[in-house]
Structure 1
Amino acid sequence: MSNIERPLLDFNPQEFVAALHSRYEAGPKQFDISAECLARCTGLSGEVLPERFDAVALALARGYSDASLPFAFCDAVVNIMVGKVYSDAASQRDTWPPLFWEVFLAFDAGEFFREGEEHIEPAEKYTRPLIEAIVARFNV
């Protein structure tokens, strides 16, 4: 079992993602992650807890991979959460979550159509293979 997959005593990433998904389904256009909710992934000083961000990222990747979570939801979550990662980096906190960043970049790759590829779904061409490779590393 990798460090990312070790159970966290007071945090269940699958439950966290499921709760976010319920809120997303209730109103995708108004979806946001409250400060109180995001605080479940941060330390006492509001710093990113890399193991929690990485665990959420893996839960999103697995959900997208098995088609239980849609691209738009996963992309929205990582886009909201990355703001906290950036603010920690700007504050020179050593809290960078490497797997979260990798998953963020994978979803980011599927956000837009490329010139000459308007007929190709970017999430399928760019995001899906990156996510499948990530998930495969953790399903050994």
Structure 2
Amino acid sequence: MNKLIREMAEIAHDDARQITEDQICKWAGSQSIHDFLNSVAIEIAKRYHTGSLDYSTCDIIVSDLFHFAVHQPEIQLLFYEVFLAFDRGAYQMKTDLTDDPISEFTKPWIAEILLSQRID
């Protein structure tokens, strides 16, 4: 999983690239797409929670994966919840931009997801 997450992070840091459907299917291997997306979502959440991946990298990765996931027959709730947690951090709600949606929403939501999955 380390190599996969490193590769995804490299793609996230390259504005000219995006994670593709072919890459996702290759990375999933014999796993179902749903299991793969859930396992990657949890790994991204864990790495964000521990500080080994920054918010921007995580947000880009799960957003790229989401663009693929919405074309699947159904989206797994765990993956979708991780996506929503990162997506929520992207939008400031106060007109004066003094709020911090990452600290207010993303960090606690990711911690809650990991706790619900019994992952510290």
Task: Please indicate the TM-score interval, normalised by the length of the shorter structure.
Answer: 0.7 to 0.9
**How big is the alpha-carbon RMSD for the aligned residues of Structure 1 and Structure 2?**
2.3
Match of 1:87 in 2: 71
Structure 1 segments (4+ residues) deviating >6 Å: none
- Which amino acid in structure 2 is aligned with residue 15 of structure 1? K
Structure 1 distance, partners of 2:96, 2:51, is 23
Q: Is the CA contact (8 Å cut-off) linking 2:85 and 2:106 kept in structure 1?
A: yes
Distance apart, 1:115 and its partner CA: 2.0
Equivalent residue pairs, number:
118
- Asked if 1:104 corresponds to 2:83, the answer is yes
Structure 2 distance, partners of 1:75, 1:22, is 13
Match of 2:34 among 42, 45, 50: 50
TM-score if structure 1 supplies the norm length?
Answer: 0.72
Larger radius of gyration: 1
TM-score if structure 2 supplies the norm length?
Answer: 0.83
Could you tell me which runs of 5 or more consecutive residues in structure 1 were left unpaired when the two chains were aligned. 1-11
Distance apart, 1:72 and its partner CA: 0.9
Structure 2 distance, partners of 1:31, 1:121, is 28
Q: For 1:1-140, list aligned pairs within 5 A.
A: 12=1, 14-25=2-13, 27=14, 29-40=15-26, 49-88=33-72, 93=73, 95-116=74-95, 118-137=97-116, 138-139=118-119
Q: Is the CA contact (8 Å cut-off) linking 1:41 and 1:53 kept in structure 2?
A: no
